[in-house]
């Protein structure tokens, strides 16, 4: 089975990728000995995902290993805030704190009528020969005026999904996965990967 190195150590993300890329052996980056901090200083999701794949690809080349590398970058884009928090979604409130991020978002949306938003995910896969394939996924919705349901994951408790007609904070894992931006990006990438063979 062909290996794909995933630029993540996040158990939830690893599980999700393994389930969908089930014809490949998905290996988290720590298992190849990659423990460096990658500086994600891109201005778009695509740039950041490419920064991660390039860093790990270079590491593999230095070890004379020829594996595909995959990385994703995702976040929340709010229309009335010119696409913010965007690539800064994880540290919008100043550091990596979900509650501060949500509080800062609600403060910035005070008095705004347009609360349209979307979650965006971009996944880049780089082959050993340098060929790059990019998958993209989005899910549309609106930002609520207060938190609803499960507050343990990012902006989910503020995001009301148009398709589900339900807040992600109240949705089951199955419901959320059926429309999720990451799930859609993974499927888009997998289709393109299969066509590139």
Q: What is the pLDDT of residues 107-137, one digit of tens each?
A: 999 999 999 999 999 999 999 999 999 999 9
- Given the residues 37, 41, 73, 103, the one annotated as active site: 73
Kindly state the average pLDDT of the residues 6-20: 86
Q: How confident is the model over 164-182, as a mean pLDDT?
A: 92
Fold of 3-195: Maf protein (3.90.950)
What's the pLDDT at 12? 78
At 99, the pLDDT band (50, 70, 90 cuts) reads very high
Q: Indicate yes or no: pTM above 0.85.
A: yes
* pLDDT at site 17: 87
Strand, coil or helix: what is 160? strand
CA 186 to chain centre: 10
**Which residue ranges make up each domain of the chain?**
3-195
Active-site annotation holds for 73: yes
The CA distances from residue 33 to 1, 18, 29, 63, 170, in Å, are: 20, 19, 7, 10, 38
pLDDT higher than threshold 90 for residue 177 = no
Tokens of 51: 């920064």
Which residue, among 34, 40, 107, has the nearest Cα to 75 in the 3D structure? 40
% pLDDT > 70, the chain: 100
For 47-71, the three-class secondary structure string (H helix, E strand, C coil) is HHHHHHHHHHHHHHHHCCCCCEEEE
Spatial strand order in the sheet of 132-143: 25-28, 3-6, 68-78, 116-126, 132-143, 159-161, 166-167
């Amino acid at each position: 089975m062909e290996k794909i190195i995933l630029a993540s150590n996040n158990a939830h993300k690893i599980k999700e990728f393994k389930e969908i890329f089930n014809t490949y052996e998905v290996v988290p980056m720590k298992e190849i000995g990659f423990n460096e901090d990658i500086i994600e200083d891109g201005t778009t999701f695509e740039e950041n995902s490419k920064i991660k794949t390039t860093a790990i690809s270079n590491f593999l080349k230095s070890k004379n290993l020829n594996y595909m590398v995959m990385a994703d970058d995702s976040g929340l884009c709010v229309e009335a805030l010119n696409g913010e928090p965007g690539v800064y979604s994880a540290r919008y409130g100043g550091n990596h704190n979900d509650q501060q991020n949500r509080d800062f978002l609600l403060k910035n949306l005070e008095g705004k009528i347009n609360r349209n938003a979307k979650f965006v995910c971009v996944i880049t896969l780089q082959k050993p020969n340098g060929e790059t394939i990019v998958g993209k996924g989005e899910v549309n919705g609106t930002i609520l005026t207060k938190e609803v349901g499960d507050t343990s994951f990012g902006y989910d408790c503020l995001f009301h999904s148009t398709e589900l007609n339900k807040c992600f904070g109240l949705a089951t894992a199955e419901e959320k996965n059926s429309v999720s931006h990451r799930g859609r990006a993974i499927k888009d990438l997998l289709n393109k990967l299969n066509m590139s063979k």
